[in-house]
C-alpha cells in the first residue's frame, strides 16, 4: 500500500518508519538499509544503493514511490534534512541516566526527549485530516472512545476532554463492556479507536463491528499503515517508536497520543466557540463544589 504524501511529513526517515512493517521482503531490505545507513545513501547513486541493499533498481524505485516521493533526488533531499536534524541530538546520550545522575540532568533530559517527540508528531500532522476528524466528532450522534493498555489511558484522557465541552461520548476500560458498546453503534455514530500498534485484537474487533453497522471510525496509531488505519474513515498517527529508539518504554506513545488528542480537543473548542467555554466552566464549578463538600 502506498503512503499518501499529504498524510505525512517530508521527513524521509519518518515516512520509512511509518510503512516499513507493511513492506514486502525486498522493499523492506531497501528501507532498512536507508534507515541504518542514511549518510551512505546520500553519497550513493541509485544503482549503488540497489547493489548495497541487495535489491534491484526497480525495487528501490517502487519504495520511493510508495513513500510518496517522485524520484531518488527528492528522497535524498529530505534524507539530507533528516541527517542535519539527527546530528544535533543523540537520544542515547540524553537517556543514559544512572543512579548518580543529578535531578536537574534528568529534568533536562526528559524535557529534551519530550520536546522532540512532540516535534516529530507535529511534523506528521495533516491539517485536512485533523479538520475531517473534527467534523466527524462534532457531527456524530455519539462518540465511543476505546483503547487498551497505554492507549487505554490516553482514551480515558480523550473522554475527560471531550465530554466537558458537551460532546456526547463514552469510554470504558473493560474490554467486554466497550465491545458491547461498539456493537450497538450505528450510522451516524463515531468510534474513536486508539491503538499504538494498530493491531490490538480487541480494538480491531470493535472497529470491525462498528464498520459492519455503518458507524464511522477515527483511529490514532503510531504508524501510517496498519490494519486499524485501513479500516478507518480518518486516520491520524504519531511518531513511530522506532524513530526514537525506545522500543521498551511507553513515554513516546503517551506524549504523541496526548498531543494529537489535545489538538483535536482544541480544534473542537474553537469550532464550538463560546458554548464550549460555558460547558467547561460548568463542569469546573461542579467539581469545585464537590471538593468543598
**Do residues 78 and 139 share a domain?**
no
Backbone conformation region of residue 160, classed left if phi is above 0, alpha if psi is from -120 to 50, else beta: alpha
Is residue 74 in some structural domain? yes
Is residue 101 in some structural domain? no
The full length of the chain comes to 293
Q: Which stretches does DSSP call E strand in 222-290? A: 234-237
**Do residues 66 and 150 share a domain?**
no
DSSP state of 221: E
pLDDT at 250: 60
Q: Which range among 22-36, 130-144, 210-224 has the greatest average pLDDT?
A: 130-144
Is residue 96 in some structural domain? no
* pLDDT at residue 131 greater than cutoff 70: yes
**Do residues 40 and 133 share a domain?**
no
Q: What is the mean pLDDT of residues 41-65?
A: 91
* pLDDT at residue 75 greater than cutoff 50: yes
**Do residues 151 and 209 share a domain?**
yes
**Do residues 207 and 69 share a domain?**
no
Is residue 50 in some structural domain? yes
Domain that holds residue 253: 127-291
pLDDT at 86: 58
Q: What is the mean pLDDT of residues 175-186?
A: 91
CATH number at residue 270: 3.40.50.10490
Is residue 245 in some structural domain? yes
Please state, in angstroms and as integers, the Cα–Cα distance from residue 236 to each residue in 107, 192, 255, 256, following that order.
Answer: 30, 11, 14, 11
Going by DSSP bridges, is the β-strand pair 190-194/169-171 parallel, antiparallel, or unpaired?
unpaired
Backbone conformation region of residue 245, classed left if phi is above 0, alpha if psi is from -120 to 50, else beta: left
The grid coordinates listed for 213 are: 453497522
CATH number at residue 27: 1.10.10.10
Query: Degrees (nearest 5) of the Cα angle 37, 38, 44?
Result: 90
Is residue 93 in some structural domain? no
**Do residues 246 and 148 share a domain?**
yes
Supply the mean pLDDT for the chain.
83
Q: What is the number of domains present in the chain?
A: 2
Is residue 3 in some structural domain? no
The reported pTM is 0.71
Q: Give, for 172, the enclosing helix (H) or strand (E).
A: none
**Do residues 277 and 215 share a domain?**
yes
**Do residues 46 and 162 share a domain?**
no
Angle between helices 251-272 and 103-123 (to 10 degrees): 60
**Do residues 158 and 223 share a domain?**
yes
Is residue 60 in some structural domain? yes
Cα atoms found within 13 Å of the Cα of residue 87, Cβ hemisphere only: 8
Amino acid at each position: 500500500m502506498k503512503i499518501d504524501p499529504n498524510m505525512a511529513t517530508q521527513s524521509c526517515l519518518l515516512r520509512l518508519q511509518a510503512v516499513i512493517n507493511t513492506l514486502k521482503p525486498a522493499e523492506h531490505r531497501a528501507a532498512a538499509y536507508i534507515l541504518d545507513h542514511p549518510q551512505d545513501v546520500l553519497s550513493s547513486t541509485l544503482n549503488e544503493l540497489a547493489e548495497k541493499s541487495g535489491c534491484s533498481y526497480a525495487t528501490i524505485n517502487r519504495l520511493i514511490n510508495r513513500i510518496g516521493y517522485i524520484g531518488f533526488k527528492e528522497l535524498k533531499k529530505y534524507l539530507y534534512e533528516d541527517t542535519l536534524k539527527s546530528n544535533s541530538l543523540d537520544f542515547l546520550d540524553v537517556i543514559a541516566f544512572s543512579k548518580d545522575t543529578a535531578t536537574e540532568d534528568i529534568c533536562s533530559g526528559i524535557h529534551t526527549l519530550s520536546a522532540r517527540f512532540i516535534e516529530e508528531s507535529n511534523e506528521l500532522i495533516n491539517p485536512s485530516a485533523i479538520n475531517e476528524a473534527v467534523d466527524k466528532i462534532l457531527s456524530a450522534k455519539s462518540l465511543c472512545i476505546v483503547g487498551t493498555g497505554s492507549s487505554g489511558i490516553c482514551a480515558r484522557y480523550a473522554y475527560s476532554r471531550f465530554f466537558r465541552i458537551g460532546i456526547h461520548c463514552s469510554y470504558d476500560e473493560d474490554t467486554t463492556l466497550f465491545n458491547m458498546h461498539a456493537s450497538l453503534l450505528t450510522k451516524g455514530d463515531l468510534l474513536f479507536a486508539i491503538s499504538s500498534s494498530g493491531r490490538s485484537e480487541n480494538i480491531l474487533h470493535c472497529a470491525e463491528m462498528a464498520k459492519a453497522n455503518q458507524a464511522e471510525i477515527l483511529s490514532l496509531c503510531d504508524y501510517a499503515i496498519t490494519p486499524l488505519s485501513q479500516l478507518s474513515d480518518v486516520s491520524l498517527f504519531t511518531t513511530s517508536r522506532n524513530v526514537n529508539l525506545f522500543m521498551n518504554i511507553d513515554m513516546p506513545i503517551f506524549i504523541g497520543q496526548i498531543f494529537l488528542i489535545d489538538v483535536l480537543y482544541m480544534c473542537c473548542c474553537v469550532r464550538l466557540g463560546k458554548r464550549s467555554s460555558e460547558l467547561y466552566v460548568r463542569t469546573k464549578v461542579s467539581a469545585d463544589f464537590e471538593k468543598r463538600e
